[in-house]
Chains A and B, each alone.
Chain A
């Protein structure tokens, strides 16, 4: 009854040979992928550790680098400063993020959509742009807030000084509170109203219920958010460089940067980077332990019916608080940044005769280096996004279909860079690939490779999630009808994955365009990117051009993020995967 005569005979080679052939192919595939990952992930980290133990010229084993790195009071002070910074930011970001998350997720506060949008805006704003905004706002005496204060009180001095530890903590907290927000709100979204009803029926009022039931239920998530903002704060380079350096104190990241001033001392930098690496790994492990803990089953389960708590007049108080936080993190810094971008001199204020487009004209037309820089940024980011997604998709596929043995090793290597701060990764890349034989220093290649590794975890998580959403039976249906695996991938898998791949591309592209902490160690004279140029401009004190460049970066980011939310739904970047 089959009209296609069954030609199994044609494919009947000896069973053992076929098994060997398949095993061969999968081993080759595994080797190829593991080699790529070794190059991108393993080698830089190993080189970092090895070079921290090597003598600069001879390469002999030594602990001298550690002695130099930690034998100096200033270096130790920078470590203590980083700790202070991290703890301060984590606490302040929690004060900002948790109440807003609660108000949006559990109450009838008005204007939720707007506040959500603003949190999203805070999330996509690079911290160093926020820092520049805050320099314009709270620079000693000349800053806008100080000038308003002096005008109101007639005082001779302003009261705010951004160039201080407090200033730095505020600046980083207002840009990193979206982390605590996202963690808390996604946990709150899963707490069923019945949990609260059960407390209400026993006689507890709203406040007591919130403090005794709701918040304790999401405590693991809040702690997770605290850990992430702590890690974010200690790994940042841009904001501390803009604020701490003029304030004449160092944190670990700025101290690492100083090891790279001429003469470059990679080995000492590597030794000095170790605590940062160790703390990050430890904290992520801790976070997994806390979030993975059982017992809070109501948070892990499916959310039941949810009703909003009626706050009465207090809902306006909550809205006021949310607006205040948004003002500190978005409205005010962006307002002064825009003003400076379109001003002849930002200090002359908001007037028509101070208005100019020259800053943009200068960047986009007059100054050839700036044009090149902007082009570099978008090209490198685009290539990075393609590379990271192609590699991670291939690996996610191989892992999910169990095509090779020990595929979990591949998955682990893909997400490993997540626990390596960008600045540490960059030093590893420098140690591994800047010197001969590859001598990639100053090339676009080393930047793209570094970015690819840095964002591989993001790319991998979203590719794997995309793949998981597609039933393997979709492919098996192709196979059983006579199509090869490649045909199944081409005709079914890729078309179905298009959307989530576009989303993943954007999720890599956006952070790549603003990446500073790894770029600053890897750029050469001809491969500068916007973030590095912003940093250089700030050293010259040219805030008008700098703001204009920041605005260009923001517009591009917002445009891409806008396209992203069109494709894959609103606030896709705020989802916790």
Chain B
């Protein structure tokens, strides 16, 4: 039985359908991210899991028990969860130690035990030397660590994080991503993490649920999500990509200016009619001579339209010589092609993901 189960979960605010029929299951100890642009319903979903918002339709179950349903919900303070807020919500009227001890004291744990566990927890997040400080005297990153300590010390049934890194600067954000994953590896708390930053989701998560317009587009492991996006939205949201359209006649897919055998693709391609593929810019090769045809691969002649040198790589925009295909291509910094130069672009079918 899964630890947390969302079934057909929906939330309507007036005429606006914020969350539209979400199904998601988390195993115990799993770290799942809800990733999507702002307004996609990810925070509302998280707040329904926490119990701050009641669903309009659907249920939330934990270990088989219904927590939320349109008929009524268990209030947040009875769910044994904890949450990290976007603003951290560290109480400024309490010291670091008092903040972290708060949840334990509510559980009527003996003072000595509280003190020991708070001490251990602060050590884990490297904050024990600041235990007596007030939050106003801490940096953003330190407040974030206090928030983590306060949430984890009670050993919650589920840990919820609501864009916890969005208020930090870039360097600190990168550091805290690994810190969050490290704490997860240490405590194995079932975690739901809301973010709009794909890198954050990729670093921290076991699985990522990509959300758009209130529903889940795809739930998968980070690598699968990147390599095999199932929808146009997922392909475009996670990393940069090119969309190319082809027509399938059952044995061959013909594109604008070239064709590939249908059998060369690893994943299912429609047998008839239109097929759309996502091709990552760095999964194509740009070279000055046509490559020798390997199985399934094909090369087409292109002209370089634009280019930009970014240090670690080149970004090119190329156009096929026969046809109107325009593509973004990323190459190594050594592959130098002038604007207007003719070149060859090589496709590999296994790097082309057919999307719905």
State which residues 59-78 of B face A: CB under 8 Å.
62-63, 65-67, 69, 71-78
Q: Of A18, A19, A495, which is within 8 A of B93 by CB?
A: A495
B103 at the interface (CB under 8 A from A): yes
Contacts A2-B157, A6-B80, A471-B87: A482 and B92 contacting too (C-beta < 8 A)?
A: no
- When the two chains form their complex, are residues B79 and A1 in contact, meaning their CB atoms are under 8 A apart? no
Q: Which one, B148-156, B226-234, B276-284, is touching chain A?
A: B148-156
B86 at the interface (CB under 8 A from A): yes
CB distance from B185 to the nearest CB of A (A): 14
Q: Of A4, A476, A483, A495, which is within 8 A of B85 by CB?
A: A476
- When the two chains form their complex, are residues A482 and B107 in contact, meaning their CB atoms are under 8 A apart? yes
Q: Which residues of B contact A159 (CB under 8 A)?
A: none
- When the two chains form their complex, are residues A492 and B91 in contact, meaning their CB atoms are under 8 A apart? yes
A166 at the interface (CB under 8 A from B): no
- How far is B297's CA from A434's CA once the two chains are assembled, in angstroms? 96
- How far is B52's CA from A483's CA once the two chains are assembled, in angstroms? 13
Q: Which residues of A contact B86 (CB under 8 A)?
A: 473
- When the two chains form their complex, are residues A480 and B81 in contact, meaning their CB atoms are under 8 A apart? yes
A348 at the interface (CB under 8 A from B): no
CB distance from A400 to the nearest CB of B (A): 14
Q: Which one, A8-16, A59-67, A275-283, A370-378, is touching chain B?
A: A8-16
- How far is B341's CA from A97's CA once the two chains are assembled, in angstroms? 72
- When the two chains form their complex, are residues A480 and B82 in contact, meaning their CB atoms are under 8 A apart? yes
Contacts A2-B155, A4-B107: A9 and B89 contacting too (C-beta < 8 A)?
A: no
State which residues 439-492 of A face B: CB under 8 Å.
471, 473-474, 476-484, 487, 491-492
- When the two chains form their complex, are residues B89 and A474 in contact, meaning their CB atoms are under 8 A apart? yes
State which residues 339-358 of A face B: CB under 8 Å.
none
- When the two chains form their complex, are residues B72 and A17 in contact, meaning their CB atoms are under 8 A apart? yes
Contacts A6-B157, A477-B89: A1 and B28 contacting too (C-beta < 8 A)?
A: yes
- When the two chains form their complex, are residues B72 and A476 in contact, meaning their CB atoms are under 8 A apart? no
- When the two chains form their complex, are residues B63 and A6 in contact, meaning their CB atoms are under 8 A apart? yes
- How far is B150's CA from A481's CA once the two chains are assembled, in angstroms? 9
Output the residue of B50, B87, B89 with the most chain A CB within 10 A: B89
A305 at the interface (CB under 8 A from B): no
Contacts A2-B156, A479-B52: A15 and B72 contacting too (C-beta < 8 A)?
A: yes
Contacts A473-B85, A476-B85, A496-B93: A481 and B154 contacting too (C-beta < 8 A)?
A: yes
- Chain B residues touching A, majority SS: loop
Q: Which residues of A contact B28 (CB under 8 A)?
A: 1
- When the two chains form their complex, are residues A12 and B65 in contact, meaning their CB atoms are under 8 A apart? yes
- When the two chains form their complex, are residues A1 and B74 in contact, meaning their CB atoms are under 8 A apart? no
- How far is B156's CA from A402's CA once the two chains are assembled, in angstroms? 28
- How far is B58's CA from A381's CA once the two chains are assembled, in angstroms? 53
B255 at the interface (CB under 8 A from A): no
B188 at the interface (CB under 8 A from A): yes
Q: Which residues of B contact A473 (CB under 8 A)?
A: 85-87, 89
- When the two chains form their complex, are residues A1 and B29 in contact, meaning their CB atoms are under 8 A apart? yes
For B91, the closest partner residue in chain A by CB is A492
Q: Using an 8 Å CB-CB cutoff, how does the interface string of B166-193 with A read, 1 for contact, 0 for none?
A: 0000000000000000000001110000
Q: Using an 8 Å CB-CB cutoff, how does the interface string of B182-217 with A read, 1 for contact, 0 for none?
A: 000001110000000000000000000000000000
B15 at the interface (CB under 8 A from A): no
CB distance from A165 to the nearest CB of B (A): 55
B106 at the interface (CB under 8 A from A): yes
Q: Of A18, A22, A476, A483, which is within 8 A of B83 by CB?
A: A476
- How far is B83's CA from A478's CA once the two chains are assembled, in angstroms? 10
A3 at the interface (CB under 8 A from B): yes
Q: Which residues of B contact A496 (CB under 8 A)?
A: 91-93
Output the residue of A12, A14, A474, A482 with the most chain B CB within 10 A: A482
Q: Which residues of B contact A18 (CB under 8 A)?
A: 72-73
- How far is B224's CA from A551's CA once the two chains are assembled, in angstroms? 80
- How far is B51's CA from A150's CA once the two chains are assembled, in angstroms? 80
- When the two chains form their complex, are residues B76 and A476 in contact, meaning their CB atoms are under 8 A apart? yes
- How far is B29's CA from A479's CA once the two chains are assembled, in angstroms? 23
B102 at the interface (CB under 8 A from A): yes
- How far is B91's CA from A476's CA once the two chains are assembled, in angstroms? 11
- How far is B104's CA from A4's CA once the two chains are assembled, in angstroms? 10
Q: Which residues of B contact A483 (CB under 8 A)?
A: 77, 102, 106
- How far is B157's CA from A491's CA once the two chains are assembled, in angstroms? 24
- When the two chains form their complex, are residues B80 and A4 in contact, meaning their CB atoms are under 8 A apart? yes
State which residues 489-522 of A face B: CB under 8 Å.
491-492, 495-496
Q: Which residues of B contact A491 (CB under 8 A)?
A: 91, 102
- When the two chains form their complex, are residues A12 and B74 in contact, meaning their CB atoms are under 8 A apart? yes
- When the two chains form their complex, are residues B71 and A15 in contact, meaning their CB atoms are under 8 A apart? yes
Q: Which residues of B contact A8 (CB under 8 A)?
A: 62, 65, 67, 74, 78-80
Q: Which residues of A contact B106 (CB under 8 A)?
A: 481-483, 487
- When the two chains form their complex, are residues A474 and B91 in contact, meaning their CB atoms are under 8 A apart? yes
- How far is B72's CA from A14's CA once the two chains are assembled, in angstroms? 8
Contacts A1-B188, A8-B62: A482 and B77 contacting too (C-beta < 8 A)?
A: yes
CB distance from B206 to the nearest CB of A (A): 16
CB distance from A125 to the nearest CB of B (A): 37
- How far is B84's CA from A477's CA once the two chains are assembled, in angstroms? 8
- How far is B156's CA from A482's CA once the two chains are assembled, in angstroms? 10
Q: Which residues of B contact A2 (CB under 8 A)?
A: 80, 155-157
- When the two chains form their complex, are residues A477 and B189 in contact, meaning their CB atoms are under 8 A apart? no
For A479, the closest partner residue in chain B by CB is B76
- How far is B103's CA from A487's CA once the two chains are assembled, in angstroms? 12
Between A and B, 28 residue pairs with Cβ closer than 8 Å are: A1-B28, A1-B29, A2-B155, A6-B63, A8-B62, A8-B67, A11-B78, A12-B66, A18-B73, A471-B85, A473-B85, A473-B86, A474-B91, A476-B52, A476-B76, A478-B102, A479-B76, A480-B81, A480-B83, A480-B160, A481-B82, A481-B106, A481-B151, A482-B106, A482-B107, A483-B106, A487-B106, A491-B102
The 3 closest A-B pairs by CB, nearest first: A15-B71, A15-B72, A481-B103
Chain A residues with CB under 8 Å of chain B are 1-4, 6-9, 11-12, 14-19, 22, 471, 473-474, 476-484, 487, 491-492, 495-496
Contacts beyond the supplied A479-B76, A480-B81: 13 A-B pairs with Cβ under 8 Å: A1-B189, A2-B156, A8-B62, A11-B74, A15-B72, A19-B72, A471-B85, A471-B87, A480-B77, A481-B103, A482-B103, A483-B106, A492-B91
